[in-house]
Structure formats: C-alpha cells, structure tokens
Structure 1
Amino acid sequence: MSSKRIMDIELLRGIAVLGVLFHHLQGSLFTDIVPSLERIHAWAQPWWGVDLFFAISGFVIARSLIPALQGCSTRQEYWQQTRNFWLRRAFRLLPSAWLWLALMLLACLFINRSGAFGTLHANVQATLAGVAQFANFRFADSFYRYEYGTSFVYWSLSLEEQFYLLFPLLILVCRKHLVWALLALVAVQLFTLRTPILMVVRTDALALGILLAMWSARPGYARWEPTFLRRPWVGVSVLLIVALALSVMATDRFTFTNYRIGAIAVLSAVLVWVASYNRDYLMPAGVLKNLMVWIGSRSYGIYLIHIPAYLLVRELIFRLQAAGLPSPAGHPILTILIAGGLIALLSELNYRFVEMPMRNRGASLVQRLSTSRSAVPSSGATSC
C-alpha cells in the first residue's frame, strides 16, 4: 500500500484541529463568559475533532503497518517491523510532546503571576502522566473532581500512544480474524453508555479507521468511490452538513445520548472514507484548501501548543492590566487573533525545528538498523 501523503486527509486534520481550538476558547482563552461563544456552544460543539483525529490515525497507520506486518514470513521479521514502527512513532511524537510538557511546567513556575497555568502540584502530576502515557486515565479520574493541570489535552495523545503500542500485537493475535475483532470492538462501544473512563479509552473511531484502511486495499473500494461529489460545491455542502450534524451530536441537546459517541465515530469515518480517495471531493483545490492543508500538516504541533498559547495570552493581558497599559481585554476578536497568530508562529517553529528533524532522525535510525541487520548473515532467516 502506498504511503504517499493524502492531501484530503491533511484537510480533515486541519478541520479537526480548528474544531478543538474553537471548543477550548471558552475556559482556556476566556475565563469570563463570552455571550456569542455561549450561544454557539449551546447548539453546536466541535470537540468531535478529537474523534476525527482518531479515525484518521487508525486509517493512516493501518494503511502502511498492516501490509508490512502481513508480508513478514518469520517472527523475527515481524518483530523487526514492529520495532521499526514503534521507533518511527516515538521520534515522530514524543520529542514535541515532551518539549511542550517541559515548557508548560516552566511557565507554571516562572510566568504564572495571574495563575493561568494552574498550580505546580497539578502540573507536575500532569507532566508525569503525559510522559508515562497514562494521561487519559488521570483525566477521567480528575473529571470535575480536581485540577488536572495545563496539559489536559494529552489524554488523547496517551490513548493514541497506547493504540500504537498494542495494535501490532492485536494484528499478531487476531491474524485472519482481525476484521471481526475490530467490528466487535466497534459494536460493543456503539451501544454502550460512555462513562468518563470509557470516554478516555474509546477506540471505535480508531477501529473504523483501521477497517477503512483494510477495505481500501480490496477491489470493492474503488467501486464505491463517491463520484457524485465531483459536482461543483456538492462535496463542500456534504462536508458542511456532516460537520454541523457532528457539532449538534456533541451537545447535550442531542437526545440519543447513549449512542452519540458511536454516531460521531461513524460520521468521522465517513469523512475519512471520502477523503481517502484524494480527489478534492470535500473541498476544491484553491487558496482555502491550501491553507487548510497547511494547518493540517502542522496540526500535531497546533494541538500541543494551543492551550499554553491561550494561557500565555491570558497572562499577558493580566500583566498589561496590572501595569495600567492598554490590553485586548474585553475585545474577544482581537484576543483570538493574537492567540491565533501566536499558535501559528509557534507551531511553524515546532514543525521546522523539532517535528521534521526528529522524524528524519527516526527514519535514519530505522534505516541504519535495517541495513546493519541485513548485512549480518543469518542461516535461519528468510526475506520479508
């Protein structure tokens, strides 16, 4: 299966991260009630961007990992491929995640005059949870009970890291029954009321993304291509309708509350399915799509950075007010523009000087390990 980057998937990443950024405006950037945001949140909430991320991750990872592992003829080759996958994921994700955990902890210590970054005790515990990849369990435990800390968004990163660790083992254990195991995983969750602990281990969107990747390797996938979306603005209309439906489902007004998370996972997978053909079905090529693709390509850094950026803007406003200087306080649009500019700048720096160099270093390490392994004769090994 080709590992070529799919621009329409990057578009979805951009949509997903913008939804999360908007959802966190109230409470993270604004502590006082902003009436317009309150009205929007009453009828539409875009936190479903996290589930869209899950569906994308399941699709993208399975699209390359399953063929690689299924093409191995010995256990040794299987574990070598698994090791390579884990190494690439670690170099891709952990340096940026740990960097921003450290920076948030330093901000709590040294630029926290307003208290925006929370208490040191909560942030130390949150940092440990983020590094040790159990932030999702701590997040569920802290839900409306105690302060989590600045890095609360790391719950979803921990869930994905747990998925990356366990997924190769699931492929090994289930073998030819992998499809049925994934379908059972989706079905069980679809009809289960999500408690806080079940919310932070939800894997239905991930499983649907994996199933979609497996289907994309079969002949029937091409026959089901939604070619009717080629008509001008039909695809954009479908995208807007699905996004609106997801936003309504994410509110407490949605009456089928027992099934709304499962429904969100299914609709997220539908968007990934349409995007997987990479035919500009969801948005025509142009300036807007190029911007969304750029946002999508930086979405990991944006996701990590947006909360500390929001809190830094709050700290700046507090200090300006304390000094009697003009500030953007009371001007929500200006405050959002300042925060957005800061997020764009920091995410671009993170992408250029942390994400890409560390990703390339991981790829080089995997290449060296593979080369050194192939250079050593082994009497019992066969090629993958």
Structure 2
Amino acid sequence: MRQYRTEIDGLRAIAVLGVLLFHLKLNTGGWLGVDIFFVISGFLISSNLFKEFESTGKISASNFYLRRIRRIMPALLVCIIITFIPFALLLSYTPAFSEFSQSILTAVFSISNIFFWKHAGYFAIKADLCPLLHTWTLGIEEQFYLIIPAIFVILPYFTKKKQNTLWIFVFIATILSFLACRYGHNLVSTDFRFYMLPTRMWELFAGLFIALLLKNFPQLNTRNVYTELLSGISICFLCFIFISFIGNSNFTENSLFAVLATCIFIVTTTENSITGKLMSLRPIRFVGNISYSTYLWHWPIIVITYLLTIRFDINNSILIKVCIIISTLYISYLSWKFIEKPFRKKTTWSDCLKPLSPFITIAFILAIIGISALSTGKSHYKLNQNKLKTNLSFNDFKNEKYYSFGNKQSSPQFFVVGDSHARAIAPALNLLDQEYGINGKEASITGTPPLFNIYNSEDDNIPYEAEWIKYIKKNKIKNVLLVANWNKLFDATTLKYNDEKIRQEEAFSIAKKELITMLKLLTEQGATVWVMKSVPVLKNNPVVISRLLNKPYIEKESPLINFNFIQRALENESIPNIYILSPTPYLIENGNIISVQDGHLLYEDTNHLSVDGAYAIKEVFRPFFESMQHQ
C-alpha cells in the first residue's frame, strides 16, 4: 500500500469544488462531493490503521483521536469564532441567531448532524441562515470515529479466520446501512436518512473495504490498460454527475453512483497513470490540500454574503459568486497554512491541547452569550412566536383529544380543522371565544391539508379526516372552519395523492376535486362550513429582513406564490352553506404585504402568522362567531 497518494488530493479538490459550486447554484449535483469525502475519509483512516496494525500488532486509540482532533478542531474553532462576529452584527435577536448559537455547541461536541436533524422539517430555518449547517458532515465522520478504532482494537483478539468473520459482520452492517438509507422511508424521515450515521455509515465503510481490498490485493493498483480506462471513466463520471444529478428525497441512488465511482478511482488510479498525473498537477493538489478549510469556510462566507447583499440591496450576480470563490480559496489557504499545518506538528496531547484550549473556551463563551443574551430581547421589532408545531397524534384523534377553545368539558359549538396555519390563528380564536363565550375544538396536523387522500409527501397516508369527521357527526357540530396553506396545493413536489406523487399539471384539479368532496360531505351532515383563504405569503423571511434593514419589511404581493386557491377552486361552484373568509385586507396595503405593525412582527416566517399576526386578523372571524351566537 503506497505511503502517500497525491492523486487523492486531486480527488479532494474535485469534491470540494463540486460542493462549493453547488452552494453557489452553479451546478445541480455538487452536493455529492460530500459522499466522495465520506469514502476518502473511510479509506485513508482505515489504510493508516491497517498500516499501524501490521507494524505493531495493535493500534493506539489515544494516538488515533489525537490525530483526529488536531486535524479537525483547530480550523473548525477558528471558523466558528470568526463567523460569530458578522453573524451577530447582522442577525442577533432573531430565531436564526439563536439556532446558530446552539449549533456552535453541537459542532464542538461533534453532534451537529443530530442537531440539524432535530431542527429539520417543515418549520426549519432556511439553510441560507444557518452558517454551521454544513458541519453535519463532520458530526457523521466524528461519530464514525467511535466505531472504526473499536474494530481495530478488538482485531488482535481474533485469529485470521475469525478476523474474516468480523469483516463479514462489518460488511453486513454496511449493507443494512445502505438498505436503511434507501428503503427506510417508512421507518424514519428523509431528514434522518440524510443526517444520521446509521443511514450514512455505508459510505465510510465503503472506504474501509477499499482499503482492505488494496491491502490484500495491492496488484489491483497497478497501471495497465484496464486501470487506465476505469480511472479515466470514474473521474469523468464524477464530473458528469455534478452537472446532471439533482437532489431529491430518494438521494441514495445518486449517492451510490458517487460512492462506486470514487471507489473505482481509488482502486485503479496510480501515480503514473494519465488520470493520476492529471489529478496530481500542482494547482489541483493545492486545492486538495486546502479542501478541509475550503469546506469549513465556504458556507459561512456564502451565508454572510447573502445577508450583506440584502442589507445593502446588491444584486447577487455572477461577479459576487466569483468574489466568493476567490475569497473562500484565499481564506482557506490562510487557514491551512497558519492553523492546520502548525497543529499537525503537535505530536502529544499536551502540545495539542495547550494552544487549542483558548479557542475552545472562546467558542463556549460566544455560544453562551449568543444563547442567553443575543437571541432574544433588544430587537427593534417584537416577535411573539406561536406554538405552531402540532403535537396531536393519530391516537389523539381516535381518542377525541383535540385542542380546546373555552370550557374543555362543554359540548363544542364549532370545530376548526387544518394544518399548522390553523394552529397559527388560534390566538385570535381564543380572544373571540372569551368575548362570545362559545366553546370549540381544533384538529390540526402539520403540513397536512384538511382533505381526503392528499398529504405531505414525507408522511404516510393516515386517515385523520375520517376521525374528525366522525367526531363532528357524533357531536352534531354545526359550524366548521377550514384553515390551511391552500396555496401549497399548487406545489406537487410537497404532496402525495393516494400514495402516489402528484404530477404538477394535475395538482390543482386534484386538490379542487378533494376540496369540493369535503365541503359537500360536511354540508350534507348539516354543518355550515367557513373556509379561510391562505394568508399572503412572502418570498423573504420578514423577521430576518426587518432585522437586517433595521426597518419594517414590506414586500409586494406576488401572484407567483399567492395563487388564491380557494377563490379559483370555488368560483364556478354552487354549494350551499359555504362562506369564505379572507385575511388579505388586514395584511395587505396598496398591494404590499405588511409584516410589522406597531413594532410587532405579524409573521414569524414567510407564511405563518405570529401571535400578533393572529390578533391583527381577529376581525376576519367575527362573522363566524356572530353567526353562532344567533343560532
């Protein structure tokens, strides 16, 4: 096994440039550079452990973790500390800054992937506002470092034959990890499969098995016509997938192609091959050498640049992107030269921890300051956040455990049903409930419209509707209010219909049919149905933009995202006992969406009302309550 393979530096360069260009929206498949890194990491770490094991008969776990810490932590800590300053100046006292401050701690403790998995999903803060989002990959690798040395530590206790059995078990674990990644959507969420080690370690184990293969069959890595051909094809294929593959919830197949091509490259590319010489050219190797720092720095630079372009009203042009690439490479070079290289010379724990300790201390202090002092408080505009994430389960529906308005023990006179937008208006309904003394219930499921057969593409088709319709019929409820992000029904990428993906051209007609079916069913049961149109949707997060601009954010209403689904779906329909409520007059002035009123933010993201936003549209629901008072 060769001591140092310069062509792998070239492969690192390809991987990191793919990721960088992807995040600049200059390619569609560069995210697969992360998968290349996983294989390279598994291969290099395993190769070094094999060498140590063969020369000494054992491995030193202490030395292993020392090498990992001095490789990863110094540049990471410096990146975190420097990123904190501009991000605090731009976005302190916002939910985005609160999450950033928390992510500092998770990055230091190597659990970023768990943190971002927990914070992923429907209510996740946009990636553009998470400077440390990319550290999830470091969490994966660092958790893998708990597994790989353990295998080598127990290896001496196995005979040669039993060692082969051990590798078979590891291979089975690799296959199971891949299968969970590809077919685990019925067991775990897409976010879990993307962010978590159990469904990602197959890529790192692929690198381990390539190292094992070349240890046992080093002749595979010799130059001949076959290896030349395979080597060239593999690197061309990797470049091809960067510009042709597109990410989606079934990302595993794309990752598999990237992993296989990387494995073929590592096995077949030699230092004397044409591809090997090309990948060992000094400019390419230079980018490969600084690839770790480039990966660390590129995303914070992109995020902060994005915020600055908004703050100073600068067009995010190709020139800006070129400047980002140049500044990223330059800062990465400085990080590599003055941080990475010096720490590689620290060969003992004391030599490493002594200069590292101040950086760790500063990072912790900044995180605590960010969480305790700079996350909430002195903002120009007050944000009263709603508890939007609904906690009702299907069992709650079956057991009739719904949210209540007024006296929980009294029979409900009205029933509110919908997605998280139904939860968002609850503060307004609470005020009117107190005023009129009318009791009600609410059934809301995040991301799920109150229609049959249409549901979030990440969820199973659970029959929530059957349960609340049964409840309405059983309790003879005569007033039903439907509230949802109806405009979402135009976006086929987020929905499923009868366990099938919806084609974009069918989305409106399918949603219209199911809406009319639901309205007719409810009215035939004797209910009067009130439907609230979607609240106006913004393109940009008003909490962030108002903080950046230091003035209330106002945005022109866009017909591209505000489709007015309810009006279009019902304009030629004649269904008795249906009433339409519109929040638009309370949130739009002169064609502009108002996000701040009397110093209070009306939205907490682009489409969900805050508590004050719900209060602002309270009068929308007065006819609903007035009608019940006279029944």
Under a length normalisation based on structure 1, what TM-score does the superposition of the two structures give? 0.76
Q: Is the 8 A contact 2:174 2:202 kept in 1?
A: yes
Q: Is the 8 A contact 1:229 1:281 kept in 2?
A: no
Equivalent residue for 2:497? Answer: none
Q: Is the 8 A contact 2:238 2:258 kept in 1?
A: no
Q: How far apart, in 1, do the equivalents of 2:177 and 2:8 lie?
A: 25
Q: 1:272 to 1:140 in 2, by over 3 A?
A: farther
Matched, 1:139 2:139: no
Equivalent residue for 1:210? Answer: 208
Q: Is the 8 A contact 1:133 1:162 kept in 2?
A: yes
Instruction: State the structure with bigger RCO (CA 8 A, min sep 6), 1 or 2.
Output: 1
Q: How far apart, in 2, do the equivalents of 1:235 and 1:270 lie?
A: 7
Equivalent residue for 2:322? Answer: 337
Q: 1:311 to 1:302 in 2, by over 3 A?
A: same
Deviations 1:202-261 (A, max 9, x none): 01121111111112122x331464622676x985454223432466455449xx866443
> For 1:143, what is the secondary structure of its paired residue?
coil
User: How far did residue 101 of structure 1 move?
Assistant: 1.6
Q: Is the 8 A contact 1:209 1:272 kept in 2?
A: no
Matched, 1:160 2:154: no
Alignment of 1:1-384 (within 5 A): 4-26=3-25, 37=26, 41=28, 45-69=29-53, 71-72=55-56, 78=59, 81-110=60-89, 112=90, 119-144=96-121, 145-147=123-125, 149-173=130-154, 175=158, 176=163, 177-192=165-180, 193=183, 195-200=190-195, 201=197, 202-218=200-216, 220-223=217-220, 225=222, 227-228=224-225, 235-236=231-232, 238-245=234-241, 248-252=244-248, 259-275=253-269, 277-282=270-275, 284-285=277-278, 289-318=281-310, 320-321=312-313, 329=315, 331-332=317-318, 334-361=319-346, 363=347
Q: How far apart, in 1, do the equivalents of 2:179 and 2:227 lie?
A: 35
Q: How far apart, in 1, do the equivalents of 2:336 and 2:251 lie?
A: 38
Deviations 1:118-163 (A, max 9, x none): 7320111111110111111112222233227310010001111112
> For 1:189, what is the secondary structure of its paired residue?
helix
Q: How far apart, in 2, do the equivalents of 1:216 and 1:13 lie?
A: 20
Q: How far apart, in 2, do the equivalents of 1:345 and 1:107 lie?
A: 18
Quick one: which amino acid aligns to residue 360 of structure 1? K
Q: How far apart, in 1, do the equivalents of 2:108 and 2:351 lie?
A: 26
Higher mean C-alpha displacement, 4-13 vs 63-72: 63-72
Q: Is the 8 A contact 1:14 1:292 kept in 2?
A: yes
The two structures, once aligned, show a CA RMSD in angstroms of 3.1
Q: How far apart, in 1, do the equivalents of 2:227 and 2:109 lie?
A: 46
More strand by share: 2
Q: Is the 8 A contact 1:205 1:266 kept in 2?
A: no
Q: How far apart, in 2, do the equivalents of 1:126 and 1:340 lie?
A: 25
Q: Is the 8 A contact 2:7 2:277 kept in 1?
A: no
Q: 1:282 to 1:189 in 2, by over 3 A?
A: farther
Q: 1:189 to 1:279 in 2, by over 3 A?
A: farther
Q: Is the 8 A contact 1:313 1:338 kept in 2?
A: no
Q: 1:366 to 1:55 in 2, by over 3 A?
A: farther
Whose radius of gyration is greater, 1 or 2?
2
Q: How far apart, in 2, do the equivalents of 1:178 and 1:249 lie?
A: 36
User: How far did residue 186 of structure 1 move?
Assistant: 2.3
User: How far did residue 282 of structure 1 move?
Assistant: 2.5
> For 1:133, what is the secondary structure of its paired residue?
coil
Quick one: which amino acid aligns to residue 162 of structure 1? Q
Quick one: which amino acid aligns to residue 340 of structure 2? E
Q: 1:7 to 1:366 in 2, by over 3 A?
A: farther
Q: 1:170 to 1:283 in 2, by over 3 A?
A: closer
Q: Is the 8 A contact 2:87 2:304 kept in 1?
A: no
Q: Is the 8 A contact 1:190 1:261 kept in 2?
A: no
Which structure 1 residue ranges, 5 or more long, are not aligned? 27-36, 322-326, 369-384
Quick one: which amino acid aligns to residue 196 of structure 1? D
Q: Is the 8 A contact 2:231 2:264 kept in 1?
A: no
Q: How far apart, in 1, do the equivalents of 2:173 and 2:53 lie?
A: 21
Deviations 1:315-358 (A, max 9, x none): 4444554xxxxx5x2532x1121111111110011011100111
Q: How far apart, in 2, do the equivalents of 1:15 and 1:96 lie?
A: 21
Q: How many residues align?
A: 330
Quick one: which amino acid aligns to residue 222 of structure 1? Q
Q: Is the 8 A contact 2:221 2:268 kept in 1?
A: no
Q: Is the 8 A contact 1:301 1:350 kept in 2?
A: yes
Q: 1:17 to 1:273 in 2, by over 3 A?
A: same
